Structure formats: structure tokens, C-alpha cells
Structure 1
């Protein structure tokens, strides 16, 4: 969600469907509870391992997908590549050696995957393949049909079907490079709703972890289902579109290991589109979470609190 008219569109459309919880009011700033209890849910289903210590160069490519023939889903893929780390993503670069977890990323209303490239290329440089579709009715330049968000969890599952199949596709750049048993989902705003839906009404059992950025359970509920999948929520306490309390309510309902990164001065997520202190904290914290939940790297889990505390811009409620 990026344009000024977006809060009105989102609120009006969802309320018309009988849903509640989205607010254009900035919520009161509240701190995360001190010394939160640890969750008693089962441990993640990912075997113990070690995430790559080095940073990778990043490659980028496009896939043209279409679910059912009438839902075009062009996908941007960012992935670890051979080359010099720290440079701009190179189109169709040769993939780095290794097998890398896959993270499906869902954009917000009136957004595009490229809007999040600063964050997503950092994930790829850390050793993840990021698959980011552009949705047919909520992407930039589309009809902006907000209620189509409810169809997007199925879109993401379809995208994962096709992306994971590349691991066995002869001649593909990603053949033999995908850890197909280590898959996560993430999303911002309407994409956060999509991501929550992948663990509730549209549960995709391949998913081992989720990252929800400024999301809410509107339309997809909080009936988390299936095997335990750790969740990391990130939410600004001054969010002017999705009330912080609405995101916190979904987080509270998660029955699995979880954490919530709260940004006391954070808005609806514009910091995710640039490269400032808040973005760096969000990037570092999400990377350590994904290293733990998808690589099984316990040392990364131990680094989470320090990553979240850097720069004094966020508070972490850690129940992992």
C-alpha cells in the first residue's frame, strides 16, 4: 500500500465485506512486554544446520506464470549468485553453489516486488531464493480490487509449485540449487494478509516459517492450522493504515514459536522501501529469523535480540 488514497480503499472495501479491524488512525505507542514467556509449541520442523556465513552476489530473473489461465502472475526471482557481493543484482546471473531455502514474498496493495528490492536482495545475499509475484488485481496499475487479496494465498501456493519445480528442471539456472523442504512465506500489508492466510484458511503445509510485515487477519482469520511454523511479525506502532493493535491481535493468536518486532516510531512500512536505520534493523532481524527457521541455525536465533536492539529503533517480543 503506497498511495495516499490506499487507506480509504482498503478500509472501505473490507468494511463493505463485513470485515473490521483496519484503521487509518495512528495507535497509541505501547511497549512490548518485558520478559515474555517462551512458547510451549513444538520446535520447527527444520533439521539443525548452519546458514552461510558469507554474503553472496545476487542474481535476478523473471518467470511468466498464469494460474488457471486468467490470473497472470509474473514472478521476480532474486537468488544467491556467483560474483562479487555487494553489487547490484545481475540479471540471469549464474546461481551460487549450494542449496538455498525459498521464501515467497507478497507485495502490498498497489505495489510491485521491485518496490521491496532493498530488503529482498539482502535476503538473497544472505542465502535465500526469494520468489515475489505481482498479483493480478492488487499490483500497481491493476484494478485495485482489494477483496481479491482473499484469492492470493492460492496464488502463492501455485507460484511455489512452479518455483520449486525448477530444482529438477533440466537446464534451469536453479536446477539443484533449491532446498525444497525449507520454504517460508513473507509479505507486507495486503501481502501480510496473504501470508497469514497461507497459515490459516489457505494453509500450505510446505511452509516452515512466516514473516508478516504490517499485516492483519482481515478475511483470513487467526485459526492457525497444521504443523508448527514459527512466525515473525513486524509492525510500526504509528501505522496509519493497519492499526498496530490489529496486527498484535493476530500475533497473540499464533500458537507456535513467535516473535514480534515493534517499531515505536514506525508507520505503515515506508521505511521498507528505502535504506535507513529502520530498514537495516528489519533486514538484519528477519535474516536471523530466516536463518534459524529455514536453515536450522541455532546461533542465528541467539543473535536475534542483538539485531533487533541495534540503533534503538525497535522492541522485540521474543517467544521463539
Structure 2
């Protein structure tokens, strides 16, 4: 479920991206302060600010999407959950990654003075489940983009559970019940899924999309696998869908009460 990686593979200086390192304090149950590490990548005239939440493996140093999204006109904040990358803390849990995502959103609003109405939350894979929870808890964000994600951890685990006589629900403590939360969304949503995803089949991505309320949009990418690092995702027509979605979401959000 969690595969934290502390090794940094690439620095944004190598990508020639203007950025700032950020360190965000978060309190543990014992009162100890731990710091989340992230990169703030500003755009001079952003169409939106994107909070990017990565999946269960790697860390932000492998998220080359940051350059792509800035080129599309986004300011981007990427963070590593505690236990990942340079972030402090021990092995993560469902509760701690939710807390880390909320801390990052609070940073954008309180420190960067960015209105929730101008923020789009983007989550990939496990990050999609984290993004859905965050959007559910913060209904005034402009939009939500969920990439290659799943309905619930129970349904994902049950697909591969070999010990059928032993109920998986007895040991599954991390629920990530996205399909239960997605029904309550209050903002536009865009669901993206590779049609050749062998880790999370496209049928599961479709089921998550179908559970979401309108307005919503589904982008299925032929020949694309789970991580969307393939050229298929970079096709101009796909990138334009992401860009246009953010523009519409922010426009609708700013015009609402």
C-alpha cells in the first residue's frame, strides 16, 4: 500500500524550472512537530494553482509531470507525505497522508494567499484517493483531477486476495474508501485512466467516475499504462483537456457564491 522512497533521483534545477523548496510543519498525536518537504513551482500568470499528490511509490523527485503542468499554465505545489523523500516522519498511514495533504492545502491558502476557488487538486493512483478525501473535506476548491485511481482499498485487495477463507476486512485497516466519498463531491471532477493500465484496470477507474456527481468528465487514454509517463498522455489533445478543465472549473468557482 505504501512504498516510501527516501532517495532523491532528480532536482528541479536539472529541469530548469524556477522553484522554491518548502518545509511545512505538521503536528503528530504526541505533539511532536514533523516537517513535510515540497517544491513550489510558480507561474507568472497561472490559469490555476495545482496541488499535486503522488502515488504510493517513489517521491516528488520522479514526478516529471511538474514541468508539463507548468508549461500548461499552472503554478504547482508538489509534496512528499511523511516517510517519503526528504519529508520527516515514520512509515505513513491513511490518517497521516490525509493530514499531510490538508497541511499542503492550508499552506497555499494561508501562506501563499491563494483562494480555494483558484486551486485544483490532482491525485495520481493512491494520491487520487487522498485527493478525493481532501476535496470532500474542502468543497470550495475549484476542481478535482483523479488519475489512475481506484474505488476502495478493500475492492483492490479483494481482487488479489488468495486466502479466500480468511476475511480480508479483518486485517485491512487502511480503507481509502474513495467510492463512498466521491458521491459527495461539490466541485467539477476530471477522471483520467490509461486503457492499458494493468495495475488498476480501467473498469475500476470507470466505476469511480460513474459514482461521482455532475459536473464530471472522463478521459480514457488508449495505449497508456498506469503511470502516464508514456507519450500517449503527452499528446496535445490530452493536455488541452486538462488545461481546459482547469480553466472552466476556476471560472465556475469564481462566479459562484
Which of residues 220, 225, 230 is equivalent to 2:177?
A: 220
> 1:131 aligns to what SS in structure 2?
strand
Instruction: Give the TM-score taking structure 2 as reference length.
Output: 0.70
Question: Is contact 2:70–2:76 with CA below 8 Å preserved after alignment?
Answer: yes
Who is 2:140 aligned against? 206
Who is 2:190 aligned against? 232
Q: 1:253 to 1:226 in 2, by over 3 A?
A: closer
Q: 1:151 to 1:250 in 2, by over 3 A?
A: farther
Matched, 1:79 2:25: no
Q: 1:277 to 1:227 in 2, by over 3 A?
A: closer
- Measured after TM superposition, the shift of residue 143 of structure 1 is 9.5
- Measured after TM superposition, the shift of residue 221 of structure 1 is 3.0
Structure 1 gaps of 5+ residues are: 1-8, 11-56, 81-95, 169-177, 298-320
State the alpha-carbon separation in 1 of the partners of residues 196 and 88 from structure 2. 28
Question: Is contact 1:79–1:129 with CA below 8 Å preserved after alignment?
Answer: yes
Question: Is contact 2:83–2:90 with CA below 8 Å preserved after alignment?
Answer: yes
Give the 5 Å matches for 1:124-273: 124-137=70-83, 145=91, 148-167=93-112, 178-200=114-136, 203-218=137-152, 219-222=176-179, 223-224=181-182, 228-269=186-227, 271-272=228-229
Partner deviation per Cα, 1:223-263 (whole Å, 9 max, x = no partner):
33666311111111221211222221111000121111112
Question: Is contact 1:153–1:194 with CA below 8 Å preserved after alignment?
Answer: yes
State the alpha-carbon separation in 2 of the partners of residues 76 and 120 from structure 1. 10
Q: 1:185 to 1:246 in 2, by over 3 A?
A: same
> 2:40 aligns to what SS in structure 1?
strand
Partner deviation per Cα, 1:107-161 (whole Å, 9 max, x = no partner):
11222223223x322322333221111111355999995x724532332121111
Structure 2 gaps of 5+ residues are: 3-15, 153-175
Matched, 1:286 2:242: yes
State the alpha-carbon separation in 1 of the partners of residues 34 and 194 from structure 2. 32
Question: Is contact 2:197–2:224 with CA below 8 Å preserved after alignment?
Answer: yes
State the alpha-carbon separation in 2 of the partners of residues 285 and 60 from structure 1. 25
Segments ≥4 residues shifted beyond 6 Å: 140-144
State the alpha-carbon separation in 1 of the partners of residues 105 and 81 from structure 2. 14
State the alpha-carbon separation in 2 of the partners of residues 250 and 133 from structure 1. 24
Q: 1:207 to 1:182 in 2, by over 3 A?
A: same
Aligned residues: 212
**Which 10-residue stretch deviates more, 281-290 or 230-239?**
281-290
Q: 1:149 to 1:137 in 2, by over 3 A?
A: farther
Instruction: Give the TM-score taking structure 1 as reference length.
Output: 0.58
Who is 1:67 aligned against? 26
- Measured after TM superposition, the shift of residue 165 of structure 1 is 2.2
Matched, 1:112 2:87: no
Greater RCO, 1 or 2 (C-alpha within 8 Å, sep 6+): 1
- Measured after TM superposition, the shift of residue 212 of structure 1 is 0.7
Which of residues 67, 79, 82 is equivalent to 1:121?
A: 67
